[in-house]
Amino acid sequence: MTDTMLKTPEPSSTPDVYDNPVDEAIAALKKRYPDTVVDDSRENYSGVVVNANNIVEVAEALRDDLGFNYLSSVTGVDLIEDNKLEVVYHAYNIEKGGGAVVLHVQVDRDNPIVPSLVPIFPGADFQEREAWDMFGIRFDGHPDLRRILTWDEFHGHPLRKDWREPFYEADAKPFGSRWPGGSVHRAEEQNIYGKNVQYPSGWVPTGGEYEVETNMYEGVTISRDATPGLKTDKVIVNMGPQHPSTHGVFRMVVTLDGETIMGLRPVMGYLHRNHEKIGERNTFIQNIPYTDRLDYISSMSNNHGYVLAIEKLMGAEVTERAEWIRILMVELTRVVNHLWALGFLLNDLGAMQTPMLYFYIERELVLDFFEAAAGSRMMCNYMRFGGVAYDLPDDVRGQPIMQFLHDLIYDRIPKALEQGDGLMTGNEILRNRSIGVGYLSAEDAIAYSAAGPVLRASGVPYDVRRAEPYSYYEHLDFDVAVRYNGDIYDRFLIRMDEMRQSLRILEQVLPHLKATEGAPIIGSKPQYALRMPAGGEAYGRVENPKGELGYYVTAKRRSSNPERYHVRAPSFINLTALEKMTVGHKVADSVAILGSIDIVLGEVDR
């Protein structure tokens, strides 16, 4: 043996080997920024803590050098016991898939200033505004830092731990008035005004308080266009909130030059009910029916994302049969959602109610099944920690359950899709109104944090079921549907493609349901008075019909309630790119572009 062979190699000559891109990226950040990027030392927390002054350069390095170019979620957190506010970022690698690089930025609660990441990740726009609105975190350099879910003159920041609603009774349920004594009272009776309202101490109405949203219109004036030809005025038009084309109480402040859209600002929050504050008051299990009411078209899928997050915190196992039932429910939900989305989109394009009715019967059959299984057609409240609430019913409409599902998956839904495809996909009006309209490039779709069909219709084949599989999706054979033109027409087609892939998945699920008949549907005895065995954080995300739905949940050890409960709502974040898709088009096009995003206001406003 020679001396060369016995020579000990230099430490630098052995490259570090990492199991996944997340570990590699975190190691690279800590090496590049040793004084400002450190491990999060809290028990069961992931990612790194970043100094607020360096978050911009760290985010740039993460995007440009390490490939984590998709900022999915921005979450505000009140660490009141430490007198700090925290911003939590989840960034993903679109190309490689896998988990998130999680960045935590903590600032003084009395002067919370964090540099804005909007110049690097435009998709942070609405999410930073939400954190400002709910927590009072000021994002330095944000191009339009205004409230987004409450109104301009709202007093306080509702998700701070020391903010109390007019009907405040206690920090966490169960409330003492309900249990164990049962001395229930009407909350209005305890409020000096007798209604859901409170005013700042010493406030006296002057009349000026009705001048709201004045900064919405700043910088926009009525003026003549200097270009030659037809002279038109630039004017502002409010579309909504009471308008059928906005799919609910949603408003678009549109700046027009004639019929051409020059600018568009989405205005939301009319349906805001502080869902996350309610979620932090609730016990863990009480939140399940509240998730039904986010995207109320897709309640099964909403349940799924939430129970995944809590199961991560609990370390709970899910039984095999329950996993197959969950996939059955969420893929049927995807079909139900897309049938309705396409029906409404075609209605927005002028086809009135006819296309919707062609898809109606099969959607109703799926809802019949949901009602038989869960007891409700829309607010299903079906998933449980470690499983599901009930096994499949014996029959639906007098037909044995497996025969009903077989007919639905192999016959009824495929025929409905084939009929809709034949009647609508090649329709001349549909093609003329949608091809090339509402364009969003692949680069912009990623930058604006678009998710689901909006992202994949722009040529980005990213699907959480493939990128970071959950349940049993890694065992299933299906393709990630993708289209490449990024317009309304491709968003129509991508949903047709996805329904066919869902049927492909469901065909593989049926044999497993038959093979596991009689097996347990929940991992252990149902836990109605759950206490978290260990503290920490968890992020549960699923590929909902509208895109990535994520739940960020933190809890203290032995707690019965979430310490922080945040919803990464795809309907809300997908609206960030609405102006980008709309500018340069006509007023009538804006209605169709909004319809092609497919939003539900219960999820937008929360």
- How far is 359 from 138, CA to CA, in rounded Å? 46
CA 558, 560, 563, 568 dihedral sign is positive
Instruction: Specify the higher pLDDT residue, 557 or 353.
Output: 557
Check: CB of residue 437 under 8 Å from CB of residue 592.
Answer: yes
Average pLDDT, integer, range 132-158: 91
Instruction: Answer yes or no: is pLDDT of 190 > 70.
Output: yes
pLDDT at 547: 92
Question: Model confidence at 223, in pLDDT bands (50, 70, 90)?
Answer: low
pLDDT in tens, 498-527: 999 999 999 999 999 999 998 998 887 666
Chain center to CA of 326: 19
Of 101, 118, 114, the closest CA to residue 30 belongs to 101
Question: Model confidence at 13, in pLDDT bands (50, 70, 90)?
Answer: very low
Check: CB of residue 317 under 8 Å from CB of residue 387.
Answer: no
User: Topology of domain 21-140, per CATH?
Assistant: Beta Polymerase; domain 2 (3.30.460)
Average pLDDT, integer, range 535-552: 92
Check residue 19 and report its DSSP letter.
S
The CA-to-CA distance between both ends of the chain, in Å, stands at 71
Instruction: Answer yes or no: is pLDDT of 220 > 60.
Output: no
Per-domain boundaries in the chain: 21-140, 218-267, 275-605
- How far is 410 from 510, CA to CA, in rounded Å? 11
- Tokens 């944090």 correspond to 449
Length of the chain (residues)? 606
Average pLDDT, integer, range 462-491: 93
**Token pair listed for 183:** 């001395």
DSSP string covering 288-356: HHHHHTSSTT-HHHHHHHHHHHHHHHHT----HHHHHHHHHHHHHHHHHHHHHHHHHHHIIIIITTHHH
User: Topology of domain 275-605, per CATH?
Assistant: Cytochrome-c3 Hydrogenase; chain B (1.10.645)
- How far is 417 from 501, CA to CA, in rounded Å? 12
Check: CB of residue 241 under 8 Å from CB of residue 290.
Answer: no
Q: What pTM was estimated for this model as a whole?
A: 0.90
Instruction: Answer yes or no: is pLDDT of 207 > 80.
Output: no
Question: Model confidence at 248, in pLDDT bands (50, 70, 90)?
Answer: confident
**Token pair listed for 263:** 């600018």
Average pLDDT, integer, range 235-246: 79
Scored b (16 or more CB within 10 A) or e, 296-305 reads: ebbbbbbbbb
Distances in Å between the alpha carbon of 69 and those of 235, 471, 577?
A: 37, 26, 16
Instruction: Answer yes or no: is pLDDT of 339 > 70.
Output: yes
Q: Mean pLDDT for the chain?
A: 87
Instruction: Answer yes or no: is pLDDT of 225 > 60.
Output: no
Of 44-58, 149-163, 180-194, the one with minimum mean pLDDT is 180-194
- Tokens 């016959």 correspond to 411
pLDDT in tens, 252-296: 888 888 888 888 888 888 889 899 999 999 999 999 999 999 988
Check: CB of residue 283 under 8 Å from CB of residue 560.
Answer: yes
Instruction: Answer yes or no: is pLDDT of 358 > 90.
Output: no
